[in-house]
Amino acid sequence: MKEIIKLLRYIKGYWKDTILTWVCVLFESVCEGLVAYFMQFFINEVESLASAPDNLNMIFLYSGLIAGIAILAAVLGIVAGVFAASAAAGFGKNIREALFIHVQDYSFKNIDKFSTSSLVTRTTTDITNVQGAFQMIIRAVVRAPFLMLFALVMCFVTYWQAALVFLGFIPLAGFVLIFIANRTHPIFVKVFNAYDDLNQAVDEDVDGIRVVKSFNREEYQKEKFKGVSYWIYSNFKKAEKRIALNGPFMNIATYGTMIMISIIVSKAIVSTSETAIGVGALSTMLTYSMMILMSLMMVSMVYVMIIIGRNSTERILEALEEVPDIADPENPIETVPNGEVEFKHVNFAYSEGKDVLIDVNKKVKSGSTIGILGPTGSSKTTLVSLIARLFDAGSGEVLVGGHNVKEYKLESLRDSVAVVLQKNTLFTGTIRDNLKWGNENATDEEIMAACDIAQVTPFLKDMPDGLNTMIEQGGANVSGGQKQRLCIARALLKSPKILILDDSTSACDTHTDKLIRDGLDKYHPELTKFIIAQRVLSVKDCDEIWVMNEGKVLETGTNDELMKTSAVYRDLYESQNGGGDFDAAN
Amino acid sequence: MPRTNIRATKGARNMNMISGKARSAAIGRLLSYVFKYYPAQFVVVLICVLLSSFTSVAAAFFTGNILVNEYIMPSLNAGSLEILTPTSGALAGIPFGGAIAIMASILALGTVALYVYNILMSIIGQGVQKRIRDELYDHMQDLPISYFDRRGRGDIMSVYTNDVDALREMLSRALPMMASSVVTMIACLVMMLLTDLVLTAVVIGVSILIFFIIVYFTKMASRFFIAQQIELGKMNGYIEEMVNGQRVVKVFNYEKRNIEGFKKHNDQFFTYSVKANRFANLLMPTVNQVGNIQYVLIALIGSLAVFNHWTGVSLVGSFAYGIATVGTIVSFLMYSKAFVQPIGNVSQQLNLIALALAGATRIFEIIDAPAEKDEGYVELVNAKEDENGNPIECAERTGKWAWKHPHTDGSPTTYTWLRGKITFDDVDFAYIPGKTVLHNISMYAEEGQKIAFVGPTGSGKTTITNLINRFYDIEDGKVRYDDININKIRKKDLRRSLGMVLQDTKLFTGTVMENIRFGNLNATDEEVVEAAKLANAHNFITHLPEGYNTVLASGGASLSQGQRQLIAIARAAVANPPVMILDEATSSIDSRTESLVQEGMDAIMKGRTVFVIAHRLSTIKNSDVIMVLQDGRIIERGNHEQLLAEKGKYYQLYTGNEIAK
């Protein structure tokens, strides 16, 4: 319930539509009740033709009245529908927008916490579900209780003795409906979880079909699948069997009330006492009983929708309420003076107690080139991530241009620090669109200059439409090496003061790798560069090389110095000497 | 795997226009599942639907005709219902209480019928759905690799998640509702025709009007619904791409532009969503109130008929309207209401049915896709040596294998030892006919030789290896295994004789043990551990929380890339085939694991014929033959020293330098 109230906030801007929907639905229900109410007098008049065949006027009067109310009800219903549509769509739009914008403020840490795939589900499927539920219940939530109440009141007005039947039936029916819903829901939850298993089985199979086929495991996979498939089948069947009780139960309730009311009302109609009522009362009472039971069905539907929507609601709210852990300081510095970087006794841990950076204490002069070597897990990436404040240091300080990174406006800092991520992404759109991520207003000349340095130009020539070549989602239609070069060009277009290449040329052959480094030195000597690499060749010519292991910078020096002083470096150098990468000469 | 909700967005794919013909074929085929597997249940369902619909019509008949005409009207001034009993008709002599009791039992019967068919429909619905799902999955295993190349993974997934689910909704909800609506309408129609033809004509006229209103609104709504679904697909695609690339977004300060891009989609979606739902929302109030107005209209005409003593005509003859027929009008009103009501219900189901049929068409598309053909007849059999060292077939496992080659010309079946010699004879290959990607590939690998492929991405290295195990069939030329054309070998046996370790490791959800045993289902636990030791995987596995019984979720996401690779190597090792196809990893894994992986690879290469897509110098140097590929051709071949001496492409790759011109 608390969750739902929190979500109501997002009706903002569409309260008018929502309230108008409710008002219209309210009056529509009144009209529907009135139609049924007047119907009895109408029928009475028709019936009275048997005894007094001269008052056709009353029949005309009532038919006109009822038709009029019916038209009014139709109009109100239509208007309600129109507003309900925009209220629901607006509600969905607001939540989606709020969540999407909020995710933009997430830090890397926030993203890691949720995982991107879960964030995608929350912003797409979950919101679609909630919007769908809202669309379904916005009218029912007013209509059902009101129609029920109105019908009940009118029953009492028509013939209160018979209406007493409802006082017994409504709570009973409500109780049973809710009981069935509650008994069924847990099975559905189980089934939906099993669907995840099923989807996973299919997904893994499709993804690994080559493995399946090369090991002749088709039959094995079929058997495995049948297990999950059967589980879903039997549980779903169980849940549906329980739900199957709904219809017959409602039948019993409907028919039961119908018969009881028929008896009571029939007796009253024929009685000669003062309480005698018209024949029309019978059909009116029956219509009302249908209305009441329909409303009960609607209430139980709303209840089920809310239960089903609860998961999605919780997941959306969780993401919305996540507090971004990196934000602009007050009175931030807006320009980064130069590319000087300093780590002052920096420690860092992703989870408490497990330091992955230990007392890093290094200073880098503006314009110099630093190479970083070390095995996976030695925290090379983590170290350079602190420069662009993708994470905040646990203890110690990271200084850029002489100021603590926390003092800068995030946007200014990140404009000055270009990071070419190890796991990089290109986006759907043309090559030009992708490169303009670096600078929205870049001219083609600027773009081409960056392409020259990043060695994009040689393969761009072979692209059918040059800069206008479409990149498919995730960069599926360019090779790994081409993707890396495009990512470097994109970063260069930012005109940064510091450039971080995190294993960004691993898929390029050694020759291209060298051309890129030479280009950077020639055209951007002022840039402070950090080059993380697996290949010694990539960092050999750096001003300083840091050898890292287990979160520590173990040894530093130039190639020549390290060859003399560092056994680790020498080993690496010798094992790699003389070999290019045979896969990547493209 | 993200937790996906099965009621997830029916994406734009579902809204593809499917021809009417395909749709009716789909519905016929769906029903054939019902007839085939649940004939008795289906007959019972039909009977129960009939019963339950008739009882609801009977209820209307009871309150209208019987109660009012036979009991209330005659007793109007008598003061009690029990005094007079009908003197004629079916209920002659039965008192009011008795009539009520009869009615109650009929209704009880209807309720039981409703319950029975609800239960049966959930059994049928779920059962058919399960069968189709299993058939779909079973058939998918038999489809050729090229099918998976053509269709995206997401595309196939959506058939399982969206389309099969839409079937359920249709089978267990929409169909029974449709059936009972139709039965009710027919029953009402009959009753109306038996009462008065003119009034019936009015009801039918109004129903046609309602029908057209529904058709119009539905058409308008579905136009916008399609637009809405397409936009939803686009928007979710955008969100997915951007959220996945969120790190890049942050690094480039792209947030503001990102939000702008998103808002465009969100606003567009909003617009379509409003329009579509508006039309959908108009439907019910309009239909309901037209129904009410019709009700009044009938009552009015009926009253005029009574007043003017018109002559009524029904199917069973004509009669004069008068005081005695007032009850007739009241019951006619009941019928007309019961006749019109289902129209609204049916129209709400139509969308569901259309969606389900579109889904069914896509399901059958997969089920009907031609399976991988296998015309092979040469089998791999257990064998032992005869006195001359030749293989003879035997039933027991000897650890030795032979190819059993029957001949069509009547000559006796021949047996050849399984050795692992592979030859390519002038092979051409094209994924798409006409676009040849491999040209004139000829090569031979003797038993126990190591062949390395090197060359740039896209040069055809992986493609060659995919031809050996017949993932794809060649266009021209011959591939032979132990001098037998591989087209003659049963695929199952051919693949059994080949092992594969792919660069992109795929593991399955399950324990480590199960994952390794995937290579050989008959392997004992000890054999699995042996294989793991050979592959250098044993050590890290024993350090996992549950050792070999550790469950790997999501394809082993909790393991490092290198560790996954070690398991994949163990998986191939436990299969112990004479020929191995290996794709070495290029990605940077940490150096300790990397050396473990290399040692593992080297270990399983020993004593086998090996085709390796090589990236490591040590692998390449140790190879018997190195094939340098470019643009689908072998441009250089020889061993390391020979190729260096040639100073060609290999030399250039090796030194990382352009050749001095």
Please answer yes or no on whether B160 and A251 come within 8 Å at the CB atom: no
Chain A contacts of B285, Cβ < 8 Å? Answer: 28, 73-74, 76-78, 80-81
Q: Is residue B4 domain-resident? A: no
Task: Print the SS3 string covering B596-646.
Answer: HHHHHHHHHHCCCEEEEECCCHHHHHCCCEEEEEECCEEEEEECHHHHHHH
Q: Do A581 and B157 touch (CB under 8 A)?
A: no
Q: CB within 8 A of A302, min separation 6: which ones? A: A136, A137, A140, A141, A144
Same domain, A265 and A118: yes
Cβ contact B658–A534 (<8 Å): no
- Last residue in a domain, options A272, A291, A321: A321
Residues A484 and A542 in one domain: yes
Report chain A residues whose CB lies below 8 A from the CB of B286.
74, 77-78
A15 and A47 part of one domain: yes
- Is A470 in CB contact (< 8 Å) with chain B? no
Q: Which residues contact B333 (CB under 8 A, 6 or more apart)?
A: A43, A283, B64, B295, B298, B299, B302
Same domain, A218 and A354: no
Rounded to whole angstroms, the Cα distance separating A71 from B453 reads 80
Q: Is B413 on the interface with A (CB under 8 A)?
A: no
Please tell me the distance from the alpha carbon of residue B102 to that of residue A255, in angstroms, as a whole number.
Answer: 13
Q: What is the pLDDT of residues B371-430, one digit of tens each?
A: 888 888 888 888 888 888 788 888 777 778 888 888 888 888 888 888 888 888 988 998
Nearest-by-CA chain A residue for B102: A259
Task: Return the SS3 of A356.
Answer: strand
Check if B150 contacts A (Cβ < 8 Å): no
Task: Specify whether A309 is located in the same domain as A397.
Answer: no
Closest chain A residue to the Cα of B591, Cα to Cα = A375
Q: Which two tokens stand for residue B641?
A: 């020293």
Q: Is B3 left (phi over 0), alpha (psi -120 to 50) or beta?
A: beta
Judge whether B1 lies within some domain: no
- B286 vs A77: CB contact, 8 Å cut-off? yes
Distance from CA of A517 to the nearest CA of B (A): 15
What tens digit of pLDDT does each residue of B63-84 get? Answer: 766 777 777 777 776 667 776 6
Judge whether residue A192 has pLDDT over 80: no
Residue B115 lies in a domain: yes
Does the residue A59 lie in any domain? Answer: yes
A293 and A377 in a common domain:
no
The pLDDT value recorded for residue B576 is 83
Candidates A70, A215, A258; nearest CB to B289: A70
Q: How far apart are CA A118 and CA A120, in angstroms?
A: 5
Of A103, A128, A414, the CB nearest to B253: A414
| B306: CATH | 1.20.1560.10
pLDDT, one tens digit per residue, over A97-130 is 999 999 998 888 888 788 777 787 788 878 888 8
Q: Answer yes or no: are the C-beta atoms of A413 and A497 closer than 8 Å.
A: no
B426 in the same domain as B413: no
Residue A219 CA, chain-centre distance (Å), reads 37
Is A551 an interface residue toward B (CB < 8 Å)? Answer: no
Q: Does B140 touch chain A (CB under 8 A)?
A: yes
Residues 6+ apart with CB under 8 A from A329: A406, A407, A408
The first and second tokens of residue A335, run together, are 């320009």
Q: Are residues B479 and B392 in the same domain?
A: no
Q: Is residue A583 part of a domain?
A: no
Choose the closest CB to B653 out of A414, A424, A582: A582
Please give the mean pLDDT across all residues of chain B. 82
Contacts of B216 (CB under 8 A, 6+ apart): none
**Set of chain B residues whose Cβ sits within 8 Å of the Cβ of A424:** 248
Instruction: State residue B332's pLDDT score.
Output: 83
Backbone φ, ψ for residue A45 (5° rounding): -65, -45
The residues pairing with A118 across neighbouring beta strands, listed in sequence order, are none
Banded pLDDT at B3 (limits 50, 70, 90): very low
Report which of residues A43 and B206 the model is more confident about: B206
Task: Say yes or no to pLDDT of A535 above 70.
Answer: yes
What's the rounded mean pLDDT across residues B360-367? 89
**Within this chain, do residues B292 and B403 fall inside the same structural domain, yes or no?**
no
- One domain, residues A308 and A437: no
Q: With beta carbons under 8 A apart, name residues in chain A contacting B509.
A: 200-201, 204
Taking CA atoms, A343 is separated from A401, A498, A550, in Å, by 12, 15, 17
The answer to whether B336 and B203 have CB atoms below 8 angstroms apart is yes
Query: B318 to chain A nearest CA, in Å?
Result: 20
A554: three-class secondary structure by DSSP: strand
Q: Are residues A251 and A155 in the same domain?
A: yes
| A417: CATH | 3.40.50.300
Q: B307 to chain A, minimum CA–CA distance in Å?
A: 6
> What CATH number did the domain enclosing A75 receive?
1.20.1560.10
Distance CA B11, CA B115 (A): 35
Nearest-Cα residue of chain B relative to residue A86: B274
Tokens of B353: 């049915």
Query: Which residue type sits at A326?
Result: I
Q: Do B115 and A248 touch (CB under 8 A)?
A: yes
Distance spanning both ends of chain A, measured CA to CA: 59
What tokens were used for A444?
């083609």
User: Whole domain around residue B572: which residue ranges?
Assistant: 422-655
The tokens for B15 are 């809204």
* % residues pLDDT > 90 (chain B): 10
Taking the Cβ of residue A231 and every Cβ of chain B, the question of whether any pair is shorter than 8 Å is answered with no
In this predicted model, what pLDDT tens digit does every residue of A243-292 receive, in sequence order?
Answer: 888 878 888 887 888 888 888 888 888 776 666 677 777 777 888 888 88
- Is there a single domain that holds both residue B302 and residue B393? no
- The A residues from 294 to 323 touching B (CB cutoff 8 Å) are 308, 311-312
Residues of B in contact with A124 (CB under 8 A): 9, 236, 239-240
Closest Cβ opposite residue B243 in set A85, A103, A216: A103
Strand partners, A283: none
Chain A residues in contact with B589 (beta carbon < 8 A): 376
What proportion of chain A, given as a percentage, has pLDDT over 70?
Answer: 95
> How many domains does chain A divide into?
2
The answer to whether position A93 is within a domain reads yes
Query: Is the Cβ pair B107, A259 closer than 8 Å?
Result: yes
Q: Which long-range contacts (CB under 8 A, 24 or more apart) does A118-121 make?
A: A118/B2, A118/B3, A119/A319, A119/B243, A119/B246, A120/B2, A120/B239, A120/B240, A120/B243, A120/B244, A121/A315, A121/B2, A121/B3, A121/B4, A121/B5
- Between CA A153 and CA A157, with CA A155 as vertex, the angle to 5 degrees is 70
Which helix (DSSP H) or strand (DSSP E) does residue B445 occupy? strand B435-445
With an 8 Å Cβ cutoff, is A175 touching chain B? no
Do B519 and B544 fall within a single domain? yes
- B2 touches A at CB < 8 Å: yes
Q: Tell me: do A94 and A175 sit in the same domain.
A: yes
Q: Does A433 touch chain B (CB under 8 A)?
A: no
| Structural domain includes residue B5 | no
pLDDT, tens digit, 9 for 90 and up, residues A202-243: 878 887 888 888 778 888 888 888 888 898 888 888 888 888
> For B21-43, what is each residue's pLDDT tens digit?
777 788 888 889 989 999 999 99
Contact of B659 with chain A, judged by CB distance below 8 Å, is answered with no
Cα dist. A88→A122, A137, A138, A227 in Å?
Answer: 18, 10, 8, 40
Interface of B with A in 99-118 (CB under 8 A): 100, 103-104, 107-108, 110-112, 114-115, 118
ipTM metric: 0.82
Task: Show which of residues 200-229 on chain B sit within 8 Å of chain A, judged by CB atoms.
Answer: none
Contacts of B333 in chain A (CB under 8 A): 43, 283
Does A459 contact B at CB distance below 8 Å? no
pLDDT > 80? residue B633: yes
DSSP state of B173: I
DSSP tag of B369 = S
* Range of A95-104, A562-571, B173-182, B627-636 with top mean pLDDT: A95-104
What 3-state class would DSSP assign to B62? helix
* B333 and B396 inside one domain: no
Domain assignment present for residue B2? The answer is no
Instruction: Say whether both A305 and A404 belong to one domain.
Output: no
Whether A581 maps to a domain, the answer reads no
For residue B373, being part of any structural domain is answered with: no
Same domain, B394 and B477: no
User: The sheet that has A544-549: what strands, in order across it?
Assistant: A417-420, A498-502, A528-532, A369-373, A544-549, A552-557
- Residue A361 phi/psi, 5° resolution? -135, 90
Which chain B positions have a beta carbon within 8 Å of A575's beta carbon? none
Q: 3-state SS of A304-352?
A: HHHHHHHHHHHHHHHHHHCCCCCCCCCCCECCCCCCCEEEEEEEEECCC
Q: Has residue A180 been placed in a domain?
A: yes
Element at A519 (helix H, strand E): helix A510-523
* Per-residue pLDDT at A74: 93
- Check A201 against B262: CB less than 8 A apart: no
Q: Report the C-alpha gap between B113 and A582 in whole angstroms.
A: 73
Produce one character per residue of A431-453: b if its CB has 16 or more CB atoms within 10 Å, e if not: bbebbbbbbeebeeebbbbbbbb
Name the band, by pLDDT with cuts 50, 70 and 90, for residue A413: very high
Distance spanning both ends of chain B, measured CA to CA: 53
Is the domain of A249 the same as that of A371? no
Tokens encoding B421: 């010699």
Tell me, what's the pLDDT at A582?
47
A216 in B contact zone (CB under 8 Å): yes
Domains in chain B, number: 3
Query: Quick check: B16 pLDDT over 50?
Result: no
Could you tell me if A259 lies within 8 Å of chain B, comparing CB atoms? Answer: yes
Distance CA B230, CA B269 (A): 9
Rounded CA-CA distance B141/B619 in Å is 34
From CA A378, how far away is CA A554, in angstroms rounded? 11
Residue ranges making up the domain that contains A132? 2-321
In a domain, A61, yes or no: yes
Residues B500 and B610 reside in one and the same domain: yes
Task: Enumerate the H helices of A105-245 as residue ranges.
Answer: 108-114, 116-121, 127-207, 209-214, 218-243
B53 and B165 share one domain: yes
Q: d(Cα B190, Cα A477) in Å, to the nearest integer?
A: 65
B293–A67 C-beta distance less than 8 A: yes
Residues recorded for chain A: 586
- Which alpha helices (H) appear in B152-254, and where do they start and end? 153-158, 164-168, 175-195, 197-244, 246-251
- Check residue B586 and give its pLDDT: 52
CB contact (8 A) between residue A581 and residue B329: no
Place of tokens 């509702």: B177
Read off the pLDDT of residues A468-482 as tens digits, 9 standing for 90 and up. Answer: 998 876 676 787 788
Q: Which residues of B touch A423 (CB under 8 A)?
A: 247
User: Is A200 in contact with B506 (Cβ distance < 8 A)?
Assistant: no
Give the whole-angstrom CA distance, residue A172 versus residue A284.
22
Q: Quick one: A312 and A426 in the same domain?
A: no
Question: Positive or negative, the Cα torsion across B567, B571, B576, B582?
Answer: negative
Q: Is A89 contained in some domain?
A: yes
Which residues are paired to B481 by β-bridges? Answer: B422, B484
Q: Is B237 on the interface with A (CB under 8 A)?
A: yes
Mark whether B106 and B161 lie in a shared domain. Answer: yes
Is A166 in contact with A149 (CB distance < 8 Å)? Answer: no
Q: Do B45 and B145 fall within a single domain?
A: yes
Q: B217 with B163, same domain?
A: yes
Spatial contact of B615 and A506, defined as CB atoms under 8 Å apart: no
d(CA B518, CA B378): 24
Q: Which of B53, B158, B239 to mutate to test the interface with A (most CBs of A within 10 A)?
A: B239
